[in-house]
Structure 1
Amino acid sequence: MAVYWRSVPDRPHRFIPGVPAMIKIGYSALFAMLMAVAVCSADQPPGFQTLEIGDAAPDFTLPGIDGRDWSLDDFSDGKILVVYFTSNHCPVCHAHDPRFMKLVREVEGRGVAVVAINPNSGDGLRPDELGYSKYDDSFEDMKPYAEEHGFTFPYLYDGETQVTAKRYGCLATPHVFVFDQQRKLRYKGRLDNSRYPDPATVESREARDAVLALLEGQPVPVAVTKPFGCSTKWREKIASVEEDQQRWETADVSLAQIDADGLSKLVKNPTDKYRLFNVWSTTCQPCIEEFPGLMQISRRMGLRNFELITISTDLPKNQDRVRAFLSAQRAVLPPRLKPSLEAEGREGNNYLFTDPDIDALIAALDPEWEGPEPHTVLVAPGGDIVFRHTGKMEASELLDTLLKIMSNTYLP
């Protein structure tokens, strides 16, 4: 590794007798640079390397969702090889995958071999990093994800060892690598310049330009760009995921009383968050069965503009029973929500309704609700009800509904 330094203008150098001038002048800069390199290196796991333009494609043997193992030699017939690192959970991948599929269709029959690789370890993600997807990055979820997105090429799993991701230098998903017929790297970086799903937001398509240039025997216009997306979830991160789990298991659970007026103010929702209200009680069996799924969703959506607000209709004298149930279910407030709740003068999102008249609850929350529990209402910023459901709802169905309304990608 070469280390370069330069002196800073208008800053006098302190000369120490017996020490060569170059060392005296450059010592501080050299130390700072070495520290910066150490910090940068610490961000990547052992064995990580960076492929440079002209480097050979590293070999691999990885399991595919079709039940067989694939290696680099399986793609030897292609004039060009495109290695597309993607993942099931990432909102940028959700935006890019359809455009990548369009590129694949455009060059179909022209000798372009394509392979997609999921580099992530499912154990390396916190639950709140899955808030833009109904899938996680496990091998089991790769097949339904690929089917939903219409993948027509092998989709391989590297999350068990991540050796391939390290050899290719996969920094994020998505990350594109394009190799020529001799399997020398000719392009690496992003698919295009937009993180949004709307194709109209795309101004440059560097990966496509590279593939078309190689097909036409022309130099690649731009050989290197910086990938933008979700950082590769290395297995070395598992310890921090376990720490997050420990914090969640030991966090305090709050319960406050609320009346119809207080609930009405929450429903008006003058925030930028979607508010999911769930009315329940400890004497309602469907409510009890539904509740764990609601907790999973609350935690999963913890990094998004979203909050779950639970409204118990248990009698106020049974407050201890409600609190014990909430604690057992880990009805914990996601950390990201604490500042916004403090600004509103609230301590938590679990409430016990205190008015004797349940009609007041119905009027404050959802006048169209006929009364049975559980009842779930999604309120958009500004107070409009955009979804309602009476009765038990499976967590997967509710999550799918939320993602359709709130989007599974970044939006302008």
Structure 2
Amino acid sequence: MKKLASLLVLTAVFVVSGFATDVPTPYKIGDKATDFRLKSVDGKMYSMADYKDAKGFIVVFTCNHCPFAVKYEDRINDLSKKYKSKGYILLAINPNDPALEPTDSYELMKVRAKEKGFAFPYLFDDGQKIYPQYGATKTPHVFLLDKNQIVKYIGAIDDNVDSAADVKEKYLENAIAALESGRTPSPETTKAIGCSIKAKK
């Protein structure tokens, strides 16, 4: 009887372990990010491998509908323009399931990108395969990677959602400046403020 009980316990452990491995571990500072290949609003596929001379990547999980993401749209656009010339490529990814949030459909992403004149690839995480790998939980949620795709900063763009004019701490820009000077960003992580990602349970 004891042997049977032990066998059942071991079986349960293996089953639970098997399920646990299906859930990606969110990236931490120092992890190497996996590249992706996602469709943008221009109909083309994009990946980090396309940018051989990049000094780093700004991966922003964002979307159409979230009020927080909307408040950051212009700032994200400005960041893309400012840092592209410095070698940092901004790639924005919509992680939401349009079945749960219809305003985040690929077709409406194209409309929004045109309305706002997005200067960056606005990518659709079809099947929601990429955001869990990164561990993104909000829109917007930022991951700064160096040229080797090593995660250097995770969190918010800055410290003021409501007003770009009243920002006191530009977390993302300060982290890029640190990389440029060979320093470690400080802080390396901040709390992302935004809407939860819409995914099927």
Bin the TM-score by the shorter chain: 0.7 to 0.9
What CA deviation, in whole Å up to 9, does each residue of 1:145-191 have, x standing for no partner? 11222211111101x31110111111010000001122100000011
Match of 1:151 among 118, 122, 138: 118
The total of aligned residue pairs comes to 180
Are the equivalent residues in 1 in contact too, given 2:143–2:151 (CA < 8 A)?
A: yes
Indicate conservation of the 8 Å contact 1:85/1:175, yes or no.
yes
SS at match of 1:140: helix
Q: How does 1:1-400 map to 2 (within 5 A)?
A: 47-125=23-101, 136-158=103-125, 160-196=126-162, 198-236=163-201
What per-residue deviation string (whole Å, max 9, x for no partner) do you get for residues 71-99 of structure 1? 23123321011101110001111111211
- Give CA-to-partner distance per residue, 1:285-344, whole Å, 9 cap, x none: xxxxxxxxxxxxxxxxxxxxxxxxxxxxxxxxxxxxxxxxxxxxxxxxxxxxxxxxxxxx
CA separation in 1, counterparts of 2:40 and 2:69? Answer: 19
Aligned partners of 2:183 and 2:191: how far apart in 1?
22
User: Would the alpha carbon gap of residues 105 and 69 (structure 1) be closer, same or farther in structure 2, given more than 3 Å must change?
Assistant: closer
**Structure 1, unaligned stretches of length 5 or more?**
1-45, 128-135, 237-412
Residues 63 and 139 of structure 2 are in contact (CA less than 8 Å); yes or no, is this contact kept in structure 1? yes
One-letter code of the match for 1:213?
A: A
- Give the letter aligned to residue 115 of structure 2: E
CA distance in 2, matches of 1:235, 1:69: 25
3-state SS of 1:107 partner: helix
Residue equivalent to 2:6: none
> How far apart, CA to CA, are the structure 1 residues paired with 2:116 and 2:80?
13
Q: Is the 8 A contact 1:80 1:112 kept in 2?
A: yes
TM-score using structure 1 length: 0.42
The secondary structure found in structure 2 opposite 1:124 is coil
2-side partners of 1:108 and 1:70: how far apart? Answer: 15
Aligned to 2:5: none
Query: Which residue is 2:10 aligned to?
Result: none
**Residue 144 of structure 1 aligns to which amino acid in structure 2?**
V
What displacement does 1:48 show? 4.2
For 2:9, the equivalent position in structure 1 comes to none
Q: Encode CA deviations 1:220-262: one digit per residue, 9 max, x unaligned.
A: 12110110101011132xxxxxxxxxxxxxxxxxxxxxxxxxx
Distance 2:200 2:127 in 1: 8
Aligned equivalents of 2:167, 2:79: Cα separation in 1 = 14
Shift of 1:214: 1.2
CA distance in 2, matches of 1:147, 1:48: 34
For residues 152 and 161 of structure 2, what CA distance do their matches in structure 1 show? Answer: 23
Instruction: Pick which of 162-171 and 54-63 moved more.
Output: 54-63
When normalised by structure 2's length, the TM-score is 0.84
Query: Relative to 1, partners in 2 of residues 1:68 and 1:104: Cα closer, same or farther, differing over 3 Å?
Result: closer
Q: Which amino acid aligns with 2:23?
A: G
Between the aligned residues of both structures, percent identity stands at 37
SS of 1:98 mapped into structure 2 = helix
The whole-number CA distance in structure 2 between the counterparts of 1:150 and 1:211 is 24
Whole-angstrom CA distance in 2 between matches of 1:66 and 1:102: 19
Looking at structure 1, the residues matched to 192 and 56 of structure 2 have their Cα atoms a distance apart, in angstroms, of 20
Cα pair 1:75 1:81 within 8 Å, conserved? no
**2:59 alignment partner AA:** V
2-side partners of 1:209 and 1:97: how far apart? 19
Work out the CA distance in 2 between the residues paired with 1:79 and 1:212. Answer: 12
Q: Contact 2:57/2:88 (CA < 8 Å) preserved in 1?
A: yes
Amino acid of the structure 2 residue aligned with 1:192: D
Question: Could you say which structure has the larger radius of gyration?
Answer: 1
Query: Could you list the per-position Cα deviations for residues 354-400 of structure 1 after superposition, in whole angstroms to 9, with x for gaps in the alignment?
Result: xxxxxxxxxxxxxxxxxxxxxxxxxxxxxxxxxxxxxxxxxxxxxxx
1:168, 1:75 → 2: CA distance? Answer: 20
State the superposition RMSD in angstroms: 1.6
The code of the aligned residue for 2:198 comes to K
Which amino acid is 1:186 matched to?
K
In the TM superposition, structure 1's runs of 4+ consecutive aligned residues that sit over 6 Å from their partners are none
Indicate if the aligned counterparts of 1:80 and 1:214 stay in contact, CA closer than 8 A. Answer: no
Listed as ranges, the gaps of 5+ residues in structure 2 are 1-21
**Paired letter, 2:169:** S
1 or 2 for the larger relative contact order (CA 8 Å, sep ≥6)? 2
